[in-house]
Each structure stands twice: as C-alpha cells, then as structure tokens.
Amino acid sequence: MSAQTVTASAQLPQAGTPLAELLHLSLPTIAQMASYTLMQFIDTWMLSRISDEVAAAAGMSGMLAFSALSLGIGALWLVNTLASQNYGRGNYGQCGRYMWQGIWFALAYSVALAPLIPVLCMSFGWFGHSPRLARLESTYLLISLLATPIKLAGASLGQFTLAINRPMSVLGSAVAGVASNILAAWMLIFGNIGAPRLELAGAAWAQNIGVTVETLVLAALAAREQVRRVYGLGDMRFRPGPFLTLVRVGIPAGVQFVSDVLAWTLFATVAIGVFEEVGMAANMYTFRYMSVSFMPAIGIGTAVTALVGRYIGAGRPDLAEHRAHLGFRLAAGYMVACGVLFFVARHALMRLFTDDPHVLRLGAMLLVFAAVYQLFDAMYVIYSGALRGAGDTLVPAVATAGLNWTITVGCGYALAKLFPSLNVAGPWSAATFYGVSLGVFLLVRFRRGRWKTIRLESDRPGHLQPEAAHG
C-alpha cells in the first residue's frame, strides 16, 4: 500500500466522542474566524477615533471589495469539499492536486477581476454618496484589491489544510496574520513609531500586510517535506479534469456567496444609504457586532463542510448528517447567546464606537433586529456548509440569490424610499424576514436528504458528474 492511498476507515480521525471530533476541527477554525472579527473590530474602532465618516467609508468599501472577491472565495471553498472527500477515501494525493487547481483558479480569477477595479472604484458616486465619502471609499477599495492573488491563494491553502485535518496550522497562520494587521494598522493609521500617518489608506495597507503574512505562513507549513510527499503537493501542474470539477461545482457555491455578500453590500450602501452618513454609520457598527456572532459560526460551518465531505468519502452519510445537526446545535447556542447580549446591552455596545446621539439611537435599534436574526443565521451558516460538503451547491445558490435580492435589496430599498418615517427599521425589517426564510429553507433541504445521492467524482479522479453535482 502506498503512502498516498490507505483505507478510509484507517485514516478517519479517532476522536473520543462526536462532539470531541467536531470541536477538534471547529475550535481552531472558530478561533481563526474570531481573530478575523477582532481584526475588523479593532480596525473599525481605530478609524472611528478619526471620524464616523472615515470608519463608515472603510466598512462599506471593504464590503464591496469583499463582494468582488467572494465569487472566487466561494468557489475555492470547494477545495475543502473535494479534498475532504478524497481524504475520507484515503486518496491522499488527490488532496494536494485540488489545492493546486485552487491556486490556478485564484490566478485566473485575479486576472479577470483586474479590468473591473476602476469601474468598482467609480461605483460609489453612482450610489449617490457625497464626493468626499466616495473618494475615501474608492481609495480603500483600490488598495485592498491589490492583494487579490494573495488572498485567493491563501483561501485555497487554508481550505486544503482544514481538509487534511490540520486545523491548528490554519489557526497559527491566522493569528500571525491578524497580529501583523493590528500592528500595521496602529502604525499606519495614526503614524506611530515613525510610520506615515495614512489614516483610512493605512487601514487598507495594513489589511494587505496581514493577508500576506497569513498566506506565507500557510505556504511554509504546506512546504514541509512530509505534507508535500503524502498529499502530492509536488504535482503543481494544471490538470483539466480536477480543475473542471472545482469550477463546475465551485462556481454555484461562489455565486451563492457573492450574491449574499453583494446584496448586503448594496443593502448597506443603497437602502441604508438613503439615510445618509448617520444611518450608514449605525448600520456599519451593527455589522461589526453581527460579525462577532457570525464569523465564529462560519468557523463551525467550515468544520461541518470538512466532516460531511470526509464521511461521504468514507461511505458514511449517516455520520455526515449527525455531524451537521451537532454543528447546528453548537452554532445556535452561541449565536442565540450573542443575540441576548445584543438586546440587553445594545446601548452600551454602541457607545464603544460613537457618542453621536443619533447614531447611538439608530444603532441600538438595529441591534434588536440583529438579535432576532441570530437563530436563523445559524441555520443558514451550518446547513449551507453541510450541503456544500456534499457538493449540493446549485439550488442553495439560486435560493440565496433569489431571496436576498428580492427581499433584502428590493424590498429593503422600497421600504426606505416609500416609508422614510420608519428610518433604518424599514430596510432591516425586510432583511430580517429574508434571514428567517433562507434559514428555514436550507434546513428543510438538508433534512430531505437528496444530498446523500450526489457523486462529485467517478472512478476516474477529477471526473465530474454534473447532474449529481447540481443536486
């Protein structure tokens, strides 16, 4: 038997209990996502010391930058699915090949995105933002997107590392990246230790520095001799079969992700933008608190993706289903607790960012909506991740795009324009209804169990069965 092919039962992790197994994989991933949340929170806090306008500009342009990347990031999440399923089957060499196809995809996506960057920079003016605000936003966006190839290559490396059951490596790289970001932001935003005082531009450059450090650490860990040999990382060639598998199954996941991120971006810039800087600042501070609950849940969802893929590869869909439901109970418990905190301490939480009475009042009200949203957001995150681990990506993508664009963006904007007396409560009523609807839909789809019949590969490695992949 070769080093790259073992029996599935021999290589599955031997945790003491299902919860211990889930926590082994999810806790480092949760900590990784929490570190990203901390980075965003501290960056926003630093910029809020300059002004609410600068903090809002960075937040909104950061959302648009992430929207531009999210199609690629969502597609690269399938590196986790495909590598995990091969890990479950004991086809170790295929894990590394999918990682490299992810990096080839990252390079191609970066080239395709480059001509669109000037258009994205001009879009803030189209949204009706003031000339000064639009100028700040376009500056942050341009600098942030310069690191696109590095960010996407890091996504492929990170998903591969999770798939081969090395979550602590992912956590270590994230901690290094976040620490670098926070230090660089402190220096470049305020001009400390002899650095130039760049304010908003400094926050964007600091983010790029953090991302670069994280990707370099992941690459160094992947370059270790044992990992390269066992998981086939020496095979860097472009392989049409595995690449096509990644693209055809990953693109629907990417569409789901980009439709979600872009819809929320337009919600913040267009629907909430009706209420100008005060409403946008309150909304951005609310988003920062929501990320405190949302990002750790994404970590659990990513672990669920890996476990569902792993047990499908091992021929145990029953265990895959059990791990998904266990992940939901864990995420729901955390997010509901966050919701209670949002409601009880809403005024105190907003005072951490601002002392403007109008922003305080609106922000406290929005935290009530965020509290209602939490349980259903947990449904969305976990069952979307579970379906992705099985390769069920098309229908969730269509549902996410359809509901988000019609309800969150369409109805949210209509309520803002037609019923301005409701203020930001109008758009947020629509957004909350969307969250409830999508969470319930994905729970029902997962429980129907059609994902158990999906086969992403035939006996020929890298061969896609498109009818199954589309669920």
- Check residues 7 and 80 and name the one with the higher pLDDT: 80
Neighbouring C-beta atoms of residue 18, cutoff 10 Å? 13
Q: Per the structure block, which two tokens stand in for 88?
A: 């479950």
The pLDDT, as a whole number, for residue 458 is 52
Q: Quickly state the pLDDT bin for 352 (edges 50, 70, 90).
A: confident
Mean pLDDT of 318-336: 95
The rounded distance, in Å, linking the Cα atoms of 328 and 367 is 23
Q: Quickly state the pLDDT bin for 307 (edges 50, 70, 90).
A: very high
The pLDDT, as a whole number, for residue 1 is 35
Does the structure show a pLDDT above 60 at 89?
yes
The rounded distance, in Å, linking the Cα atoms of 382 and 142 is 33
The pLDDT, as a whole number, for residue 11 is 47
Residues 20-64 pLDDT 10s: 888 888 887 777 666 666 777 788 889 888 888 888 888 778 878
Token pair 């299902």 is at which residue? 18
The pLDDT, as a whole number, for residue 468 is 35
Of the candidates 162, 306, 284, 299, the one whose C-alpha atom is nearest the C-alpha of residue 222 is: 162
The pLDDT, as a whole number, for residue 15 is 53
The pLDDT, as a whole number, for residue 432 is 92
Residues 203-243 pLDDT 10s: 999 999 999 999 999 999 888 888 888 998 888 899 998 89
The rounded distance, in Å, linking the Cα atoms of 136 and 159 is 33
Q: Quickly state the pLDDT bin for 101 (edges 50, 70, 90).
A: very high
Does the structure show a pLDDT above 80 at 429?
yes
Does the structure show a pLDDT above 90 at 317?
yes
Q: Quickly state the pLDDT bin for 184 (edges 50, 70, 90).
A: very high
The pLDDT, as a whole number, for residue 16 is 63
Average pLDDT of the chain is 86
Q: Quickly state the pLDDT bin for 183 (edges 50, 70, 90).
A: very high
Give me the count of residues in the chain. Answer: 471
The pLDDT, as a whole number, for residue 457 is 67
The pLDDT, as a whole number, for residue 142 is 93
Q: Which of 4-18, 34-48, 188-202 has the lowest mean pLDDT?
A: 4-18
The rounded distance, in Å, linking the Cα atoms of 334 and 99 is 32
- Check residues 391 and 37 and name the one with the higher pLDDT: 391
Question: Is the full-model pTM beyond 0.85?
Answer: no
Does the structure show a pLDDT above 60 at 4?
no
Residues 260-302 pLDDT 10s: 877 887 888 788 877 767 888 888 888 888 888 888 888 899 8
Residues 6+ apart with CB under 8 A from 355: none
Where is mean pLDDT largest: 282-286, 365-369, 460-464?
A: 365-369
Residues 70-84 pLDDT 10s: 889 889 988 988 999
Q: Per the structure block, which two tokens stand in for 191?
A: 């001009």
The pLDDT, as a whole number, for residue 66 is 82
